[in-house]
Structure 1
């Protein structure tokens, strides 16, 4: 019997820069998973209408296997979900949607694989156990970084926000995630960022491209910007790469993890969810995805 084709996509606005199609298509080809993967530009104001369209399947189109979700839709799609996994509920941010087709209709489940992406990227980089973690930024990815720090058994977690004190969907949301995940954290103003980075074992920059450039200049001028040769910087922005802060971190003797690593590891978890029983040999899947974007094999 011929396998029924499926489809998947990454949603966001803008979306043309996304490397997710290259990652997913390489994995699907390796797995023999008969599924397309496209990029769909969906502005935030269209999120509700797009979600509603998912509940009226087009019989001429393959059924959805899943959706990858990026900005600005990670919170906008929450109200459209029928279920949330525990991690997505704790963060109130999703980056993945899976589909269950039943006699009663389509059941949408929101997941968050960003946490696993951050944890696995940092572990692969050799981040210290019980690290002192500093998180730059207070948006949706910072919420995932807080949960990831908790999973790493962080000795301390400090969030440095460019807008301080709390504001709607800002530092207050990050603090709520800390409470829901049992991760104790401290909120500090942006003016403390350079000094905090100098004492951190792990720094996670969740800022958009160029968002940490001024901080990079401050670190470059500091006599000691990195805690030591084992200190790790994960910069989730991967275009352009290396970023200014990544260049300074390397020059000061620290280790860097490009955002592409986080994207890679969170995508592996998405492929596991979308491909279901077709998924096998995680290491091989990871390596074919590395090859697709020119990243070093694991």
Structure 2
């Protein structure tokens, strides 16, 4: 079997758990000639890196700051990535590089695996690329409210909402009390940014997905769990988005449990 390779691209990228997840998948699938590495790459260098990629490269996982740049350099773009306005996956195809987005399926599958429905009233904390992907994962939500630091800077997220035909309201992060009473909260803020909301009252019939997974639980997750609400770690989102990438790159069903075990070993207590 000819050698195949893939990698995660980003800057910085040394912290990425993608190599752990993808290598575990290759081992479980018996793909002994496949390799997966991490490569430092910024937006300016992406097009050149793709042009230099050898025929053995099947695809790339793309993290910050590349998620919007992948749509500009790809020869084709999946409908989901186009609607979201960002991609996290580049696949080599017959006509060149194809951009896709598996973040939204990572969110959707992480919620489903926890037995949670992405319906009712949903509040999303943050307006970045992960928040945009969250909108794609919420087709059944009755109401979506996005809390942002500066509502005037939510233009890209609102453009995503229009492309997805989602009704979205924007409110300031400085006034969260009313909006954090939602059925489902999806926190896409950096580590520590949502800690100040842990003192608010929560109920057992709420649920939370927090994209932060180290350390876990976050103060916000701990507050909802103390109220009896189910909480989902960002590690579950990372696991399921990587599983979809494995399927796209290898053509085989992802060995999710083997990938989960590898992630748990790499980051004990991360919540998967």
TM-score when normalising by structure 1? 0.84
Contact 1:24–1:289 (Cα < 8 Å) also in 2: yes
Hey, what does 1:161 align to over in structure 2?
Answer: 148
CA distance in 2, matches of 1:187, 1:181: 16
1:196 maps onto 2:195 in alignment: no
1:215 Cα deviation from its structure 2 partner = 2.3
The CA deviation at 1:297 is 11
Distance 1:141 1:63 in 2: 30
**Deviation (angstroms), 1:243:** 1.4
Instruction: Name the structure 1 match of 2:243.
Output: 268
1:10–1:69 CA contact under 8 A, matched in 2? yes
Residue in 2 aligned with 1:16? 14
Of 48-57 and 135-144, deviating more is 48-57
Work out whether residues 127 and 201 of structure 1, in 8 Å CA contact, stay in contact via their aligned partners in 2: no
| Cα distance in 1 between the residues matched to 2:51 and 2:41 | 17
C-alpha change, 1:272 and 1:297, in structure 2 (3 Å) is farther
Deviation per CA, 1:120-155, whole angstroms, max 9, x where unpaired? 1111222246321100000111100111112xx011
Q: Which residue of 2 aligns with 1:67?
A: 60
* Residues 95 and 113 in structure 1, CA contact (< 8 A), matched pair in contact too: yes
Q: Structure 1's 214 and 296: CA in aligned 2 closer, same or farther, altered over 3 A?
A: closer
- Which residue, out of 163, 171, 184, partners 2:167? 184
Q: Secondary structure at the match of 2:137?
A: helix
> Where does structure 1 lack aligned partners over 5 or more consecutive residues?
none
Partners of 1:291 and 1:257 in 2: CA distance: 17
Question: What SS does the aligned partner of 1:191 have?
Answer: coil
- State how 1:1-298 maps to structure 2 within 5 Å: 3-33=1-31, 34-43=33-42, 47-58=43-54, 63-100=56-93, 102=94, 107-128=96-117, 130-150=119-139, 153-164=140-151, 166-167=152-153, 171-197=154-180, 199-216=181-198, 220=199, 222=200, 225-226=201-202, 228-276=203-251, 279-280=252-253, 282=254, 285-294=255-264
Whether the 8 Å contact between 1:290 and 1:296 is mirrored in structure 2 is: no
Q: Provide TM-score, normalisation by structure 2.
A: 0.92
Query: In the aligned structure 1, how far is the partner of 2:169 from the partner of 2:223?
Result: 25
SS in structure 2 of the partner of residue 98 of structure 1: strand
Give the 3 Å change call, closer, same or farther, for CA 77–129 of structure 1 in structure 2. Answer: closer
Contact 1:127 / 1:230 at 8 angstroms: preserved in 2?
A: no
